[in-house]
Structure 1
Amino acid sequence: MAHELGESDWGDWLPTAVAEADPDTVAVWYLGCNGFVLKGSEGTTLLIDPYLGLGDPPRTVRMLPVPFDPADVAEADAVLATHEHSDHVHGPTQAPILAATGADYYAPDASMAVVEREAWTEEWGVAADQFVTVAEGDQFAVGEFTVHVVRVNDPDADHPVGYVIESDAGTVFHGGDTRPADSFPNLADRFDIDLGVLAFGSVGMLPDKQTREPKRTRWYADENDVIRAANALELDRLVPSHWDMWKGLTADPTVLHHHARGFTYPDRLDVVEIGDRIDL
């Protein structure tokens, strides 16, 4: 079955580390692919695009370990989805977390259509009032965080959004699988973004979804586009994501040091691996 839940051999150390953490500012853990956990100094915990599936072999083959079992996540205040693709909206990963924690689920309409099609309320016992449909321009509070829903540019998605997450400790941007967008200079004017997540990958020959014939595939920004987006957003710190996930589309994020060298932003490149924690 495509995108079935993977089995983790990491045990519960990562969700336990998140639960036991007491950050002074905001702690950010990378879950691989485009998944992140944010935890603030008051304990508010957000998950963004967590994905524990195995892809759809041989088209998409997961190159990363599965870092935890969703049943081991005991605390979460909200789960945010950026767009409807299976590695961003995934019932077997996300619905058990919602059911166990009572967290609210924020996602745009195309993502919510996946939730309905997969029958999360019936299959996993998630309450209907946990789902909140969002669109560009919306703003909502989750504990100590204020979340702004912003426009991004993912030409492969039906309705992608990004999130600007503000707290007293600083501001985080998660763009989903965005490429450079004409909305980014305005976001730089509105927000002082301390840390920005931008998806990065190579171009590869993947089997076509229908014909399974090899097809030139580009899903993520390349080196130049990532730095172009980071400059438009005026990022203090850039965290590249997604470069480690799919066989045939992986990339080396350390090359971004060379591409960023001649530009004002980002001030700093943070290359993180699955399971790593960084702090604002």
Structure 2
Amino acid sequence: MTNVSDITRESWILSTFPQWGTWLNEEIEEAQVSPGTFAMWWLGNTGIWVKSEGDANILIDLWAGSGKRTQKTADMVARHQMARMSGVRKLQPNLRLSPFVIDPFAIRTVDAVLATHTHTDHIDANVAAAVLQNCEPTVPFVGPKSATDLWQKWGVPADRCITVRPGDVVPVKDTEIHVVESFDRTMLITQPEDVETKGRPVADMDDLAVNWIIKTPGGSLYHGGDSHYSNMYAKHGNEHDIDVAMGAFGENPRGITDKLTAADMLRMAEGLQTKVVIPFHHDIWSNFMANPEEIVTLWEMKRHALKYVFQPYIWQVGGKFVFPENKDDLRYHYPRGFSDVFSCEHELPYDAFL
């Protein structure tokens, strides 16, 4: 029995954080992926867990941190990436919106940890520590040079890091991780001061960020990281068979172009020739919050005239998506839990509350 005299701020935090506890960890561990399919879970922001029929578990861009936590911070100068991308010197109200749906320290089985780039909401020291402490000692950390340099700075052993560039392929069990170009122009203007530029005014983009194509026996996922719109999506669509594509969607504040718009999401999908396009990233920052239903509205307006062969899917953080099972669903809803309520034993008669 709880006694209020025993409750402290620390006990409150430990009893309520992360908000979902290990619920999703358990769901992912227990999930069996049927042949001819692949499953994935949205962990918030661009964090995705992909699981194949051969039990390849790939963790992408999991971030276990927070945004602003106080208005009394001095972190409003140009060193903050949101300030640096626009040149402003004002505190940015980037408060984290989505809950923590997974406990990184409850992860026991993962086959590869991926990071698209080194913006602080895409690579996380807590996640790295959790994997090093609790998972197999052979789990690789895969990313561009900027990411593997940062992991090693945090203490990840160099022999656990795999530095990749576009064109590389990393096999993981029955799955292949194909590395393709990133179009995250924000990385070019927010690169750390110590990045090696090799005499150029900016660093090599391929050293800073990459996009992923995860090819499983049951289908493929295109993970666009923080990429902006680019005509190069057509190149990726020509070179790879893409089933599901995810892009960083958001409502750009004045003076900022950091996220794909609704129209950009449709153009990306058309370029990639994907079957399903899913927005992400719009869930995480209060100052970039956007309504993904705008994408559906534009798609409905244009799909017949432009003969779109793809459709959008509006997901929710913590939700599960199985391809091809869910490809025509359009919208996700959390399991309601009562679909079989009248098919099980009841302690009360059906008319108890009449």
Matches within 5 A, 1:89-238: 89-102=123-136, 103-117=139-153, 119-121=154-156, 127-158=157-188, 159-204=208-253, 216-238=255-277
Sort the Cα spacing of 1:128 and 1:47 in 2 relative to 1 into closer, same or farther, 3 A. same
SS of residue matched to 1:238: strand
- Name the Cα RMSD after superposition: 1.7
Q: 1:267 aligns with which of 302, 310, 322?
A: 310
Partner of 2:345: none
CA contact (8 A) 2:265 2:277 kept: no
User: How far apart are 1:134 and its partner, in Å?
Assistant: 0.6
CA contact (8 A) 2:176 2:214 kept: yes
**Is 1:17 equivalent to 2:27 in the alignment?**
yes
The AA in structure 1 aligned to 2:101 is: P
The AA in structure 1 aligned to 2:20 is: W
Q: 1:43 aligns with which of 55, 59, 64?
A: 55
The TM-score normalised by the length of structure 1 is: 0.87
Matches within 5 A, 1:238-253: 238-253=277-292
Sort the Cα spacing of 1:265 and 1:164 in 2 relative to 1 into closer, same or farther, 3 A. farther
User: How far apart are 1:266 and its partner, in Å?
Assistant: 5.6
Provide the rounded CA distance (Å) in 2 between the counterparts of 1:105 and 1:30.
20
Structure having the larger proportion of residues in strand: 1
Alpha-carbon displacement from aligned partner over 1:62-98 (angstroms, at most 9, x marks no partner): 0111112211111100011111101111111233124
The AA in structure 1 aligned to 2:236 is: L
Provide the rounded CA distance (Å) in 1 between the counterparts of 2:307 and 2:145.
36
SS of residue matched to 2:151: helix
Can you give the 5+ residue segments of structure 2 that lack an aligned partner in the other structure? 1-15, 72-91, 189-207, 324-354
Provide the rounded CA distance (Å) in 1 between the counterparts of 2:270 and 2:246.
13
Q: 2:113 aligns with which of 65, 79, 83?
A: 79
The AA in structure 1 aligned to 2:108 is: A
Matches within 5 A, 1:25-40: 25-40=37-52
Query: How many residues of Structure 1 are paired with residues of Structure 2 in the alignment?
Result: 259
Provide the rounded CA distance (Å) in 1 between the counterparts of 2:278 and 2:129.
27
Provide the rounded CA distance (Å) in 1 between the counterparts of 2:217 and 2:99.
34
Provide the rounded CA distance (Å) in 1 between the counterparts of 2:309 and 2:115.
25
The TM-score normalised by the length of structure 2 is: 0.70
Provide the rounded CA distance (Å) in 1 between the counterparts of 2:110 and 2:296.
34
CA contact (8 A) 1:196 1:238 kept: yes
Larger radius of gyration: 2
Provide the rounded CA distance (Å) in 1 between the counterparts of 2:171 and 2:308.
29
Sort the Cα spacing of 1:72 and 1:265 in 2 relative to 1 into closer, same or farther, 3 A. farther
Name the stretch that deviates more: 171-180 or 87-96.
Answer: 87-96
User: How far apart are 1:107 and its partner, in Å?
Assistant: 0.6
Provide the rounded CA distance (Å) in 2 between the counterparts of 1:18 and 1:266.
31
The alignment-based identity, stated in percent, is: 27
SS of residue matched to 1:217: coil
User: How far apart are 1:220 and its partner, in Å?
Assistant: 0.9
User: How far apart are 1:131 and its partner, in Å?
Assistant: 0.8
Provide the rounded CA distance (Å) in 2 between the counterparts of 1:198 and 1:116.
28
Can you give the 5+ residue segments of structure 1 that lack an aligned partner in the other structure? 1-5, 122-126, 206-215
